[in-house]
Structure formats: C-alpha cells, structure tokens
C-alpha cells in the first residue's frame, strides 16, 4: 500500500512538471502555431538568473538570497520578460512563415540563450540551496513523501486552477481561446493579434520560471541542460494531447509522467535502463491509435 502510494506521488509530481511544461508550449502553439524549442532554455535562464554571472566554481547566489515573497515574483517577472522579448525581437517576424522555419528559428534562439549562459556562468554545475526544509519527508498514510513533491503537486493544481479561471472567466482568456480556435476569425471579430500573442508568451515565460524554481529546489544544483529534458517531454505531451488543446496538453503531461514512473517501478531490473525506450515506444503506439491526439480541438480537424 505504501509502495503504491509512493508511486502515485512520484507519478503526480513528475507529471505536474511535464504538465506545466506542456502548458507553456501549448499556449504559444495555440495562438501562433509555433513549437517553441527555446522553452527549455527559458527554464534554464530562469534558474541561472538566481546566480550572479561568474565562471568561478563557487556560485555567488544573488537573487536566490531574497526572501521567497520577493524571489518568486522576481523570477516570474524574469521569465515573462525574456519570453515577451523573444516574441518582440524574433518571433514577431516569423508569423505566417512555414512551421518548420519557425521551429528552427526557435531552436536557434534557444541555442543562443544556452551559449550565452555558458559564456556567463561556465558549464560547471553550481549548487543553489532554496528552501532546504522542503526536502524533508512528510508522513502520509504510512508512506514517506518528500515535502517538495506535495508542494509541486499543490502548486501545479493552483496554477492550473488559476489558468482555467483566467481562460474561462476573463475577457483576455476568452480572446486567447478564440485565437487558438481560429486566429483569422478572431482577428476579424476584434481580437488584437499582438496583444493575445504577447500575453501567451508572458504566461508561458512565467510557467517556465515556475518549472525552473521547482527543478532548482529539487536538485539543489543549476545545470545548463536542466530545462531541455522537460521541454522534450512537454513537446511530446502537447502533441499526444492534441495540438492546440490546453486540457489535452495537461492530461498528456500527467500521463507521460505516470507512464515513466510506472515503467520504472514495474519493469524487470535488467530492462529498467531501457525505460525511456519504453516511454517513447508507448508514445508512438498512442500516436498510431490516435494520430490527432487524445483530445482533438475542433479547429484541428482537417478540412478539404
């Protein structure tokens, strides 16, 4: 029973991370059909923003020292700013180009950000301690669950609830959903294209910052590649969930997280190292069964 509970919590917390990532990619894809490969580097940027730029081995913690009620808004702001700037400087000029071109442009942007970070901070992993008390386990129905897992799940649920409220109850949320459904039509009905796209980028950047905070707290180190893995899975999750479908992206994020944890727990020991192969294999099978994704938005139906 406790083992099962442990697996459930592992799956939920890993799934939360993937779901937050998938959300950040799905929001932007919805409004401008851009698969943002720079998202992983946005995450890394937010993590590194807590440190003072230096190539020394010892990390000089800068923003990371701030009390949490200042640190969290500051990082969210950094994430949002970076994301909005990338829209203004780069992606704005790629509207209506071939999706492959946009994808490669976003990858090139991520490449630039990553190497900028490498230049400023060097490739050494650095330790950054945030809220060490979160690493302690709490007892829950006999299972020892790290506090951080519980916090991650709660934060994700709060973010999801806030986003649902925003999308369903506010004027801007309505505009964003309309733009995701049919961008041309939404513009004709008075939705401002630039406004909606900027908003989507800002929210996506904040989600990247949230993932960065969780990752940094979890591992206690900063590493240049830490966002890339989440981004990859998140990217796959948005497709499995049905491109353009926001609930689908979240559900698929949780699903992939759960699949990884369950494969990890149930595969025989020798096959455990091949867990990722099983996960990717499962992804291919899901796509074969449902090529349009698990949740298909109406706008994605192909018309002739």
Partner 1 sequence: MSQRPSVIRQTILTPIVLIAALLVMAALTYCFGSRAFNRTAVEMFINIMIVVGLYVFVGNSGLLSFGHISFMCLGAYMTAWLTIPPVMKSITLKGLPVWLLHAQLPMWIATPISGFFAALIALIIGRIIMRLSGIAASIATFGLLGVVNNIYSNWDSVTGGQGSIVGIPPTMNVWTGWIGAAVAIVIAYLYAISRSGLALRATRDEAVAASASGIDIVRERLIAFVVSAFIIGLAGALYAHFLSIVNPGAFYLRTTFVTLSMLVVGGMYSLSGAVAGVVAMSVLIELFRNLEKGVGLGSHTIALPNGVQEIAIGIITIVILMYLPTGLTRNLEFRWRGWPLQRRLRRPAQTALKELN
CB of 291 to partner 1, least distance (A): 5
Q: Which is nearer to partner 1, 96 or 133 (CB)?
A: 96
Judged by DSSP in three states, 189 sits in coil
Q: Which is nearer to partner 1, 25 or 206 (CB)?
A: 25
Q: How far apart, in whole angstroms, are the C-alpha atoms of residue 28 and residue 20? A: 13
Among 243, 273, 240, CA closest to 255? 240
The 8-class DSSP code of residue 91 comes to G
CB of 230 to partner 1, least distance (A): 13
CB of 280 to partner 1, least distance (A): 4
Q: Which is nearer to partner 1, 77 or 116 (CB)?
A: 116
Q: Which is nearer to partner 1, 159 or 256 (CB)?
A: 256
CB of 63 to partner 1, least distance (A): 23
Q: Which residues lie closer than 8 Å to 22 by C-beta, 6 or more apart?
A: 233, 234, 235, 237, 238, 241, 249, 250, 252, 253
Q: Which residues lie closer than 8 Å to 18 by C-beta, 6 or more apart?
A: 230, 233, 234, 237, 253, 254, 256, 257
Residues in the chain: 304
CB of 27 to partner 1, least distance (A): 17
CB of 9 to partner 1, least distance (A): 25
Q: Which is nearer to partner 1, 80 or 256 (CB)?
A: 256
b/e map 86-100, b = 16+ CB within 10 Å: bbeebbeebeeeeee
CB of 110 to partner 1, least distance (A): 8
Interacting residues toward partner 1 by CB under 8 A: 35, 37, 90, 93-94, 96-101, 103-105, 107-109, 111-112, 115-116, 118-119, 182-184, 228, 232, 235-236, 239-240, 243, 273-277, 279-281, 283-284, 287-288, 291-293, 299, 304
Q: Which is nearer to partner 1, 213 or 259 (CB)?
A: 259
Judged by DSSP in three states, 127 sits in strand
CB of 191 to partner 1, least distance (A): 14
Q: Which is nearer to partner 1, 66 or 112 (CB)?
A: 112
Q: How far apart, in whole angstroms, are the C-alpha atoms of residue 238 and residue 207? A: 15
Within a 10 A sphere around the Cβ of 147, how many other Cβ atoms?
Answer: 14
Instruction: Compute the radius of gyration of the chain from its Cα atoms.
Output: 19
Say if CB 299 and CB 181 are below 8 A apart: yes
Within a 10 A sphere around the Cβ of 66, how many other Cβ atoms?
Answer: 15
Q: Which is nearer to partner 1, 9 or 121 (CB)?
A: 121
């Amino acid at each position: 029973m406790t083992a099962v509970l442990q697996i459930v919590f592992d799956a939920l917390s890993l799934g939360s991370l993937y779901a937050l990532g998938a959300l950040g990619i799905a929001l932007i894809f919805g409004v401008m059909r851009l698969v943002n490969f720079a998202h992983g580097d946005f995450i890394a940027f937010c993590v590194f923003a807590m440190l003072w730029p230096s190539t020394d081995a010892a990390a000089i913690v800068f923003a990371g020292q701030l009390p949490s009620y200042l640190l969290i808004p500051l990082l969210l702001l950094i994430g949002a700013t970076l994301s909005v700037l990338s829209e203004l400087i780069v992606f704005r000029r790629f509207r209506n180009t071939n999706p492959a071109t946009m994808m490669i442009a976003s990858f090139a942007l991520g490449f630039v950000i990553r190497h900028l970070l490498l230049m400023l901070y060097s490739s050494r992993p650095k330790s950054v301690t945030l809220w060490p008390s979160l690493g302690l386990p709490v007892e829950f129905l006999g299972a020892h669950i790290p506090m951080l897992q519980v916090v991650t799940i709660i934060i994700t649920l709060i973010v999801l609830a806030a986003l649902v409220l925003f999308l369903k109850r506010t004027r801007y949320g309505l505009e964003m959903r309309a733009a995701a459904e049919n961008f041309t039509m939404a513009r004709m009905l008075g939705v401002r294209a630039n406004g909606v796209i900027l908003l989507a980028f800002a929210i996506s950047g904040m989600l990247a910052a949230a993932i960065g905070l969780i990752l940094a707290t979890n591992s206690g180190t900063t590493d240049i590649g830490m966002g890339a893995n989440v981004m990859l899975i998140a990217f796959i999750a948005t497709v499995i969930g049905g491109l353009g479908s926001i609930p689908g992206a979240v559900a698929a994020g949780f699903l992939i997280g759960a699949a990884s944890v369950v494969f990890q727990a149930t595969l025989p020991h020798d096959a455990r190292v091949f867990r990722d192969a099983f996960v990717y294999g499962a992804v291919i099978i899901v796509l074969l069964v449902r090529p349009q994704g698990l949740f298909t938005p109406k706008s994605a139906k192909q018309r002739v």
